[in-house]
Structure 1
Amino acid sequence: MSTREFFEVEAKFSVTDDTEIPDLTGISGVTGVADTAVHELSAVYYDTGDLRLTRSKITLRRRTGGTDAGWHAKLPGDGGRRELHHELTDEDAHTVPEALIDPVRAIVRDLPLIPIARVDNERHESTLTDSGGTGCAEFCDDHVTAWSLLPGGDRTTWREWEIELSDAYAGTDAGADLIESATELFRTAGAAPSASPSKLVAALGDSLDTAPTPPRVAELAPDSAEAGVLAALAHNYRRLLDYDPRVRRDEWDSVHQMRVATRELRSHLETFDGVMDGDSYRGTARGLRELAAVLGTARDAEVVAERFRELTAHEETEVVSPESAAALVDSVRADYRDAHARVVDYLDSPDYLRLLAELEELLADPPFREKTAGEAENDSSADTAAEVLLEHLGHAYKKLLTRHDHAMSVWEDDSVPLREREENIHRIRKAAKKLRYSAEAVGAATGLKTKHLYKACSRMQSVLGDFQDAVTSRDILLAKAEQARAADGGADTFLHGLLYQRELSNGEKVLAGYRKTMDAVVDAYSELDNQRRKARRKAERTSGKKEKKGKKKH
């Protein structure tokens, strides 16, 4: 059964029962009203018991009557709303289709979806046309009766106007002008922009305020290191939720961005070891590692498919046939499609939904280590969490230096296998990521300026990431060559060998710029270390003055 997607751009207006509809051809770009029809619509809206969808400005409903009967999901978008339609069946009276749950799975997880409101609407619908006879918008005069099905809910009635752009006008300058002109015309007629963002919110009324709420990020002292820690975790948790539906839709680079958010969350949990107590968050870190691994397989295939496309596009057709080049690229794209399907399966798994629940619980009730009695009394110990983070930062920096020294000492030693030397470089990249994430956490938690170190690590990661992409590309080329030979003993693998040498050369060129990035990291860390020392001396002087002042009082 098909699910269709639309981009909805509309404006809503509140009117009284006796407000007269103005001449709609007074709207800029509108030259006629093609037809007007009356529809009796009835919709039941669904959400979790704590209204997670409604609070995220998402609506999910089952509508009967009119020209678009079916299940509808409306999600926020840039300049409008994404609207998904799914057909009705006789069996789905109270069962939300999976195709409409998937885009909001990260929000509702496996929580039950229940009816929260019913909205009946006598709709007077007019199709507006432009000078070419093309439909440019629909004007709806809605007479609404609604019931909140939440505890304490009530029956309400109201009248409103809607003007919704057609597909041809949505997202265009002409469409924006039309909405602006309609707004001015309707205001002149006595209408006012609707105070409610949707019919659902209007239907719920005051019962929305008394409904249970989902767990919220804990409120901590804003200037505390713990608040900075929590802010860093919450930021990447929101990124994870944001990219979940994009990954499901297979938007370009969404797998990569979701993987980055996952890795940063995991790294933060490891970095905050010593700031937080207990073992529960360590289990969450393991779940994040598993998610990152699933995303990583798809990400590698996505990157390599694009690399192969670019590499083969520059080969002369006299040397490499377009057919063999296309076959190689298509093969890796097929690998990506398979890997992406496995990602989507994982995003529907109990393990992933449990991971999201654990992260939500961790943010609502973070297991921060409580200060001892001595620490609580001693102002100089108030920044214990900040000191722990700085200690982690120092360890991460030393690990990067150690891995750098070892990798460089053997890089040109041909007696060491190339695979081992390349793995040493990869380990540097991992250490740079750890240092970058630690720098971000320290900056958020302490107020120290870590931007230069963060950016220096990012540049190093970029260089070493390009190097690793070339290595991964070579590995896949070898695997594809072996597959070709196994499938056909006489298969031509000349292209695989040619591209292998290209990637070997590409890796060496990229690595030539690595040492500059290392120098930049060293300089940035030294700058941060000096900044930290100055801050500590200042804190010690302040503490000393307070101590002397206290002694004088006694």
Structure 2
Amino acid sequence: MRTMVERERKFESPDGFRVPDLVGDGIAAVDEPALLTLDATYYDTPELRLTRGALALRRRTGGSDAGWHLKVGAAGGARTEHQRALTSGTTPPRDLMRLVRAAARGAPVEPVARIETRRREWRLHGPDGVVLATMADDTVVGHDLVDGRRVAWHEIEVELVDGGDDVLDSVERRLRRAGARPGSPAKIQRVLGDRLREVTAIDVGAATPVFAYAAAVRDDLVAHDPAARDGDVDGVHDMRVAVRRLRSTFRTFRALWDQGRVDAARDELKWLGEQLGGVRDAQVMGPRLAKAVRREPDELVLGPVAADVRGHFAATEAAALTRLRRALSSARYVRLLSTLDELIEATPATEVSPRWVDRRIHKAVRRADGLLDTALDRQRAPGAADDDPALHEARKAYKRGRYAVEVRKLDGAKKAKRLVRGLKGLQDLLGDHQDSVVTRQVLRDLAVRAKPNSFTYGVLYGEQAAHGRALVRKLPAAQARARKGKLRRWLR
């Protein structure tokens, strides 16, 4: 299986659109267009679970990359694409199916759409002849294989080969002047648009924003699954954040669900978060400490500190990634996703008002405020240690508060968007402080193992302690910024 990162931009083009001259701004030459006919069959579950999770599994003929493809991520940006050679059969390859097993909830997939594309494709060259990008002018006809719906449209895709974002910027300027407009959904989403809206529609009265937020986060979790399995840094991080958002939502708005079921789901999400956390912590801590060692003067680095740090975290990450892959391939994980589906698609356990939702959000934010007030009061006491767990508890509470506000942000509330930004700034400062605390713990463990050459770890420990104290001194000002009345008045 071949895996690559696809970086592209997509554009809508009106009737009568003419491709402009693209030479200039680093583009030295443009080939004559190649004419291609592409025919792709897309696979999904009846509930369109893959498409909802930003996964596109297809068998395509025509073009230089004919074969089986699995695209991961939203169209129009950076997406990971897994490719397999074309087979004569119509059953998706096992290795691609392993990557979508969780998204499909363990169910088989079947053809859901066929997309035929007549493409004109140009190769864009730099001054040295290198292919910087390709541009495709597509006339597309899509068929929903379930309800028979047919849709046709015209679009343009520009995909990087060996060029950078400056190439995309250059082409975009010319295309926009010629009448094209940025943005176009993935082809499969356009074809399945009606059915996709039907299966994702949520209408549970005043609780709709909460359920819609939970559904969006669940789909986000699934979308990052393939990258997390591969150990991708961003994929692991984003999947872990999705887990935290779901746990927080089920806690803040717990009364909307059967309490026994939602508490069990939170426990399972905690388990999944722990598997992701092992990988993520190693991915963050390793580079953090390596950078700290590089900053030290040579005379303060005694022994093979850099090599020991690299070796320790490489082994830690490898072991944690093995555990994560085992967890993501387990029946337990698939059951968790099915449980999330059931909770999100359930009728609320109690009828609520819009005011009830806002009160729950307000309570989450106020609780975080109270915990931080307590933590800062403790810091003012003589001899207070900056690694007080109360600061970490405040940080976790602000995450829950921010995630609660995001319910209204997703609902379109502009004040909620501003409040999220304010809370994130404070949360980031608390997070940086917690990182310094954890770093000190790791340094102490490494120093114990490194005897008798533990001097450098002591130096690094002292620097992290000083960094932690400096961050605590910044907290009151960040707290004041995050508590501006104009940001919070809408919750009262």
Q: Which TM-score band (shorter chain)?
A: 0.7 to 0.9
Equivalent residue for 1:87, pick from 84, 88, 113 = 84
Say yes or no: does 1:473 pair with 2:435. Answer: no
User: For residues 429 and 164 of structure 1, what CA distance do their matches in structure 2 show?
Assistant: 42
Residue matched to 1:543: none
Aligned pair count reads 486
Q: How does 1:26-425 map to 2 (within 5 A)?
A: 28=23, 44-53=41-50, 59-63=56-60, 67-75=64-72, 79=76, 82=79, 84-88=81-85, 94-99=91-96, 102=99, 107-116=103-112, 149-150=145-146, 167-168=161-162, 172-173=166-167, 177=171, 215-221=199-205, 224=206, 226-321=207-302, 323-370=304-351, 383-384=355-356, 386-387=358-359, 390=362, 397-398=369-370, 401=373, 407-408=378-379, 412=383, 422-425=388-391
Pair member with larger Rg: 1
Instruction: Pick which of 233-242 and 130-139 moved more.
Output: 130-139
**Cα distance, 1:305 vs structure 2:** 1.6
Letter in 1 for 2:161: D
**Partner SS state of residue 91, structure 2:** coil
**Partner SS state of residue 94, structure 1:** coil
**Aligned in 2, Cα 1:319/1:79: closer, same or farther, shift over 3 Å?**
same
Unaligned runs of 5+ in 2: none
**Partner SS state of residue 265, structure 1:** helix
Residue matched to 1:546: none
**Aligned in 2, Cα 1:213/1:341: closer, same or farther, shift over 3 Å?**
farther
Q: Percent identity?
A: 28
Deviation per CA, 1:406-465, whole angstroms, max 9, x where unpaired?
Answer: x4487727xxxx79x733443343344445555666888998967887666545433432
**Cα distance, 1:312 vs structure 2:** 0.9
**Cα distance, 1:361 vs structure 2:** 3.0
Instruction: Pick which of 128-137 and 471-480 moved more.
Output: 128-137
Contact 2:138 2:154 in 1 (8 A): yes
**Cα distance, 1:401 vs structure 2:** 4.8
Deviation per CA, 1:248-269, whole angstroms, max 9, x where unpaired?
Answer: 4545455344333322321222
Contact 1:3 1:87 in 2 (8 A): no
**Aligned in 2, Cα 1:176/1:290: closer, same or farther, shift over 3 Å?**
same
Contact 1:392 1:438 in 2 (8 A): yes
Letter in 1 for 2:444: L
Contact 1:274 1:388 in 2 (8 A): no
User: For residues 455 and 122 of structure 1, what CA distance do their matches in structure 2 show?
Assistant: 44
Contact 1:217 1:234 in 2 (8 A): no
User: For residues 515 and 138 of structure 1, what CA distance do their matches in structure 2 show?
Assistant: 52
Say yes or no: does 1:506 pair with 2:467. Answer: yes
User: For residues 275 and 301 of structure 2, what CA distance do their matches in structure 1 show?
Assistant: 34
User: For residues 447 and 94 of structure 1, what CA distance do their matches in structure 2 show?
Assistant: 45
Deviation per CA, 1:277-303, whole angstroms, max 9, x where unpaired?
Answer: 443222222222222222333332233
Unaligned runs of 5+ in 1: 16-21, 372-380, 486-490, 536-554
User: For residues 396 and 119 of structure 2, what CA distance do their matches in structure 1 show?
Assistant: 59
Letter in 2 for 1:509: A
Q: TM-score, with normalisation over the residues of structure 2?
A: 0.73
Question: What is the aligned-residue RMSD (CA, Å)?
Answer: 5.3
User: For residues 125 and 411 of structure 2, what CA distance do their matches in structure 1 show?
Assistant: 57
**Partner SS state of residue 200, structure 2:** coil
Contact 1:32 1:128 in 2 (8 A): yes
User: For residues 230 and 94 of structure 2, what CA distance do their matches in structure 1 show?
Assistant: 17
Equivalent residue for 2:456, pick from 487, 495, 499 = 495
User: For residues 273 and 397 of structure 1, what CA distance do their matches in structure 2 show?
Assistant: 21
**Aligned in 2, Cα 1:46/1:219: closer, same or farther, shift over 3 Å?**
same
Letter in 1 for 2:271: E
**Cα distance, 1:313 vs structure 2:** 1.6
Contact 2:68 2:92 in 1 (8 A): no
**Partner SS state of residue 211, structure 2:** helix
**Partner SS state of residue 254, structure 2:** coil
Instruction: Pick which of 324-333 and 243-252 moved more.
Output: 243-252
User: For residues 405 and 156 of structure 2, what CA distance do their matches in structure 1 show?
Assistant: 50
Residue matched to 1:488: none
**Cα distance, 1:369 vs structure 2:** 0.6
**Aligned in 2, Cα 1:305/1:348: closer, same or farther, shift over 3 Å?**
same
Contact 1:216 1:364 in 2 (8 A): no
User: For residues 443 and 130 of structure 1, what CA distance do their matches in structure 2 show?
Assistant: 43
Contact 2:415 2:487 in 1 (8 A): no
User: For residues 461 and 26 of structure 1, what CA distance do their matches in structure 2 show?
Assistant: 48
Contact 1:39 1:122 in 2 (8 A): yes
**Aligned in 2, Cα 1:315/1:257: closer, same or farther, shift over 3 Å?**
same
**Aligned in 2, Cα 1:321/1:269: closer, same or farther, shift over 3 Å?**
same
**Aligned in 2, Cα 1:12/1:128: closer, same or farther, shift over 3 Å?**
farther
**Cα distance, 1:39 vs structure 2:** 8.5
**Partner SS state of residue 279, structure 1:** helix
**Aligned in 2, Cα 1:216/1:88: closer, same or farther, shift over 3 Å?**
same
**Partner SS state of residue 108, structure 2:** coil
**Aligned in 2, Cα 1:385/1:330: closer, same or farther, shift over 3 Å?**
same
**Aligned in 2, Cα 1:160/1:97: closer, same or farther, shift over 3 Å?**
farther
Letter in 2 for 1:173: V
User: For residues 446 and 180 of structure 1, what CA distance do their matches in structure 2 show?
Assistant: 33
Say yes or no: does 1:462 pair with 2:428. Answer: yes
Contact 2:8 2:157 in 1 (8 A): no
**Cα distance, 1:346 vs structure 2:** 2.8
Contact 2:160 2:168 in 1 (8 A): no
Deviation per CA, 1:63-84, whole angstroms, max 9, x where unpaired?
Answer: 4576434322345557467463
**Cα distance, 1:317 vs structure 2:** 0.8
User: For residues 155 and 420 of structure 2, what CA distance do their matches in structure 1 show?
Assistant: 51
Deviation per CA, 1:296-347, whole angstroms, max 9, x where unpaired?
Answer: 3333223322321222122111231584323324422442343344334433
**Aligned in 2, Cα 1:343/1:437: closer, same or farther, shift over 3 Å?**
same
User: For residues 283 and 29 of structure 2, what CA distance do their matches in structure 1 show?
Assistant: 49
**Cα distance, 1:351 vs structure 2:** 2.8
**Aligned in 2, Cα 1:434/1:164: closer, same or farther, shift over 3 Å?**
closer
